[in-house]
Homo-oligomer: A and B are copies of this chain.
């Protein structure tokens, strides 16, 4: 069964590794948000791509969900000695990814090509696909002014109220050929439990992406990142609220209205089922919180079974 997953960072990586465990090697394609990529010290850093890659390769830091296991920070200490502001924690091993990527991009390779090389070297069996090869940057409107995503997310620890989202460069970006093929060739398309505004939002905002999803024959299923009115991780709940969305699985379903055939929610939100079904999708209520690796595989299998059952 060919599966195409749309993912952001940690939440997307967790379900993706469950999907990888549930599928034959090579049957998974993960389309990853790149709108929070940025260039600290001139290095191209792709936080979501790397979180997904490290997680699928089994080398992610299990404590944080991002970064590498057994990481050290000697580079950062020296940078700090040079007077640099080191709020973005680039690990020594992680740095190898960014340095190689920056070099290869500088030599004219595409982000899609570079990501394929790096993830193959790390032993990832499936395909990790940047949503696009062009540069897109998420800018957040806040009471403190316009903030770059990592500035908001890491440096200011998501403390600012998000009043609007600007995806700089999105109008000139396009889903890559590899993304379009993964979408059109999938048996099931899965929206991971990622932030619908700043993780899946940019993917869905790419010109042509909604049309490609609509044209794809596969059933589309989302897993809600909101459980009991709270985000499983990160600022999605506060962001939904400040942007005027309902902070609930129903609120998320409404943002994906017209795109989905089914929605997977936690049992805690089982009573939202009727509201969500009124948006034109079926609902599966299950244990949607992924605590450990078996949880991820179990949820992935439930999602795939539910999704496949929604097919024509």
| Chain A residues within 8 Å of B, Cβ to Cβ | 41-43, 68, 71-72, 74-79, 81-84, 91-97, 99-100, 102-103, 106-107, 118, 121-122
Contact = CB atoms under 8 A, between A and B. Distances in A.
Contacts of A97: 78, 82
A81 B121 contact: yes
Q: Helix, strand, loop or mixed for chain A's interface? A: helix
A71 B78 CA distance: 10
Contact of A92 (B42, B75, B83, B118): B75
A93 B121 contact: no
Nearest 5 pairs of A and B residues by beta carbon: A42-B103, A78-B96, A74-B92, A78-B93, A92-B92
B72 A121 contact: no
A134 to B, nearest CB: 20
Given A81-B122, A82-B118, A118-B82, A75 B93 contact: yes
Which of A68, A83, A92, A107: most chain B Cβ within 10 A?
A: A92
A74 to B, nearest CB: 4
A88 to B, nearest CB: 13
Contacts of A99: 41-43, 75, 79, 99
B74 A100 contact: no
Nearest to A105: B42
B79 A96 contact: yes
Nearest to A79: B96
A296 to B, nearest CB: 24
B102 A82 contact: no
Contact of A41 (B75, B91, B103): B103
A220 B295 CA distance: 75
25 contacts: A41-B100, A42-B99, A42-B107, A43-B99, A71-B74, A72-B72, A74-B91, A74-B93, A75-B75, A75-B92, A75-B96, A77-B93, A78-B92, A78-B96, A78-B97, A79-B96, A79-B99, A81-B96, A81-B122, A82-B96, A82-B118, A82-B122, A83-B121, A92-B95, A99-B99
A94 B93 CA distance: 14
A79 to B, nearest CB: 4
Contact of A72 (B74, B84, B122): B74
A96 B43 CA distance: 12
A84 B106 CA distance: 17
A68 B92 CA distance: 15
A39 to B, nearest CB: 9
A81 B57 CA distance: 12
A97 B102 CA distance: 17
Nearest to A96: B78
Contacts of A83: 121
Contacts of A74: 71-72, 74, 91-93
B100 A79 contact: yes
